[in-house]
């Protein structure tokens, strides 16, 4: 399953990416966390959705390939207190990789 996380700044992306990788290693979960990349995220009609996403804390979000997955994860204890938005349909266009 492919998930897409998004943040408001490259620095926040790098921080959250390293936290997710550390959590996967700690929990012995087989996960690939790819490098941060710039992307254009657009709200679209439900019939055109590539992903369903919610935002938390106003600066980060997670997108899922199916609305049911989005709704399920949004309700997890991990996101309580983060005031997550409802799940909405989006399209993601990845841009050229960031230069390091």
Q: Let me know how many helices (H) and strands (E) the chain has, helices first.
A: 2, 5
Model pTM score:
0.80
Q: How far apart are CA 1 and CA 83, in angstroms?
A: 25
HSE, CB side, 13 Å, CA atoms: give it for residue 36.
Answer: 19
In the chain, the N- to C-terminal Cα span, in Å, equals: 27
- The list of the chain residues with pLDDT below 50 reads none
Q: How far apart are CA 74 and CA 53, in angstroms?
A: 9
Give residue-wise pLDDT tens across range 58-85: 888 999 999 999 999 998 888 878 878 9
Cβ–Cβ under 8 Å, residues 92 and 43 = no
């Amino acid at each position: 399953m492919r998930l897409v996380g998004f943040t408001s700044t490259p620095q926040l992306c790098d921080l959250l990416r390293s936290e997710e990788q550390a959590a996967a290693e700690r929990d012995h979960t087989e996960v690939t966390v790819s490098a941060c990349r710039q992307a254009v995220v657009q709200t679209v009609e439900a019939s055109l959705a590539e992903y369903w996403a919610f935002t938390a804390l106003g600066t980060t979000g997670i997108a899922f390939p199916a609305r049911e997955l989005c709704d399920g994860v949004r309700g997890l204890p991990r996101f309580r207190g983060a005031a997550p938005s409802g799940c909405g349909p989006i399209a993601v266009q990845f841009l050229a990789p960031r230069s390091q």
